[in-house]
Amino acid sequence: MSIRTLKKMRYKAKHGLLIQEILNSFGRRGMWVSPYITYCETDEPVEYNSRELQDIEFRELQLDDAGMIAAMEENAIPEDKIEKRFADGGIAFGAFYRGRLVAIIWANLNYISGLGDSPPIRKLESDEAYLYGTFTLREYRGRGIIPALRAPFRRRLGEIGRHKCYSVNMYFNRAARRMKEKFGARQLELRLSIALFGRIRKDFLLKILSR
């Protein structure tokens, strides 16, 4: 086993991702099974100002940006799917460094979805939004870009009356869960997403954590 592989395993173990990586390995074989938590966010977003963020620009993305979004490294979402998200009323905000798109967050205004392509959990009310599709280019991670991006994004959602935001997080990703809860996200439900060989897709409620 290489030193690089060992470092990767230590990192995943430290952040609670080792079990999730094992589950992901089954997913790559067509058997996706993953527990996750749904969150509700109603607190006002925290503004971030730091030296690392002084050259980062935040703005809302448009349909014309679909090609740029699809071209993001590691973000393997085809351009036609991105165009469909916009056509269905989706909203996206991006972070730019010297004109390059380095991070993104999406919002669905129609329904809360589970992990991956699992069925929708429920329809949204007129004051609700579902946040998903958070992604940062690898070399820009760890700089606080996503927490900073959430502030202007939440303000934009508030302008259109969407003050209550929902999101989901893999159960075993402890680092991401800590970040959500640090900023006032409240755990609602523990759920399980199952997808088998592209034919069976199910989503189950395991436990209500709060109301």
Chunked into runs of 10 residues, the chain (211 residues) has average pLDDT values of 52 54 56 85 71 85 94 82 91 94 95 78 94 91 88 93 92 82 87 76 89 77
Nearest to 110 by CA among 86, 126, 94: 126
What sign does the CA torsion over 168, 24, 32, 81 have? positive
Q: Name the helix (H) or strand (E) containing 91.
A: strand 91-97
| Domain positions in the chain | 3-208
Residue type, 156: R
Domain 3-208: CATH architecture, name and number where available? 3-Layer(aba) Sandwich (3.40)
Partners of 33 in the beta sheet? 194
Please spell the DSSP secondary structure of 17-80, one letter per residue. Answer: -HHHHHHHHHHTTTEEEEEEEEEEE-SPPPP---GGGTTEEEEEE-GGGHHHHHTSTT----HH
Residue pair 89/95 in contact by the 8 Å Cβ criterion: no
**Predicted local confidence at residue 6, as pLDDT:** 47
d(CA 118, CA 131): 15
Q: Per the structure block, which two tokens stand in for 205?
A: 């409620």
pLDDT at 48 (0 to 100):
66
Contacts of 23 (CB under 8 A, 6+ apart): 32, 33, 34, 172
Look at the pTM and tell me if it is higher than 0.85: no
CA angle 148, 85, 37 (to 5 degrees): 60
